[in-house]
Amino acid sequence: MIDFTLLGELLPVFGQAALRTLVLVAVGMAGGLVLGFAMNAARETGVRALTALYWAYTTVWRGVPFLVHLFIVYFGLPSAGVRLDPFQAAALTLAVYSGAYFAEIFRACWQRIGRGQIEAARCMGLTRRQVFTHIACPQALRASLPLIANQAILVMKESALASVITYPELTMTAGKVVAEQFVYVEPYLLLALAYWALAVLINRLGGYLRRRVAL
């Protein structure tokens, strides 16, 4: 049976952990969005070296499990002289990892813009940069919002792996309660509920933004 007293006791602990997860995801997402946008913009220039960089980045970071990237950043970088605390390592890995997916989302949305629109702009004298900022960006970013919101939920769930490198977010908090108090149902129930609540929150936020920018 569920011990509701215990549930009540654990609630503040999980609330705090949920906040840490939220901050980690927010920082990772922000970094990932900037990186993904920059990578797609680089690809859009058509410069061959940048296109190759884009390809390498998106295939390497999407092709290797998040946990493996996290291990390399947290345990591997120190031997290169870069020592990060668990939060920094998790946030950085989350940013670069999600950036690869965001880059691909942006690419898809950029490529959806009709060739004719671009031609019209170019032959009207708009520069490539103006086409990017005035014609492509407003449309592609709108189109990318639902995809970004969906990806954000995946990023949020990947953040559970930060527990492996001892960042005290939700999953690690649940594990700690289990190890110390030998109870399972209540902490894992709270854990699941917390992630679900965060997912709903992200979904709501995405929907709100989408309505705000709708044409």
Partner 1 sequence: MDPNSSTRAGSAPVPMVSMRGVGKSFGSHRVLSGIDLDVQAGEVVSLIGPSGSGKTTLLRCMNFLEAYDEGEVWIRGALLGYRKTGAGLVPESDRGIAEVRSPVAMVFQQFNLWPHMTVLANVMAPLTLAKGMRPDRARAVAGEALARVGLSAKADALPGALSGGQQQRVGIARALAVQPEVMLLDEPTSALDPELVDEVLEVIKSLSSDGMTMVMVTHEMSFAAEVSDRVVFMEQGRIVAAGTPDRIIRRPDHPRLQAFLRPWFRRSLQGSAAAGAQA
Residue from 4, 49, 114, 211 touching partner 1 (CB under 8 A): that is 114
Size of the site for partner 1 (CB under 8 A): 20
Q: Identify the residue whose tokens are 């345990």.
A: 75
Amino acid (1-letter code) at residue 109: C
Amino acid (1-letter code) at residue 133: T
Residue from 116, 180, 211, 212 touching partner 1 (CB under 8 A): that is 116
Judged by beta carbon, residue 51 or residue 130, the one nearer partner 1 is 130
Residue from 2, 124, 182, 212 touching partner 1 (CB under 8 A): that is 124
User: Could you give the CA distance from residue 202 to residue 13 in angstroms, rounded to a whole number?
Assistant: 22
Please give the distance of CA 195 from its chain centroid, rounded to a whole number: 15
Please give the distance of CA 125 from its chain centroid, rounded to a whole number: 37
Q: Is 73 helix (H, G, I), strand (E, B) or coil?
A: helix
Q: Check binding of 81 to partner 1 (CB under 8 A).
A: no
Amino acid (1-letter code) at residue 166: T
- Is the Cβ–Cβ distance between 78 and 89 less than 8 Å? no
Judged by beta carbon, residue 62 or residue 112, the one nearer partner 1 is 112
Q: Which of residues 126-155 bind partner 1 (CB under 8 A)?
A: 126-128, 130, 134-135, 138-139, 142
Least distance to partner 1, CB of residue 206, Å: 19
- Is the Cβ–Cβ distance between 159 and 94 less than 8 Å? yes
Least distance to partner 1, CB of residue 143, Å: 10
The residues binding partner 1 (CB under 8 A) are: 114, 116-117, 119-128, 130, 134-135, 138-139, 142, 215
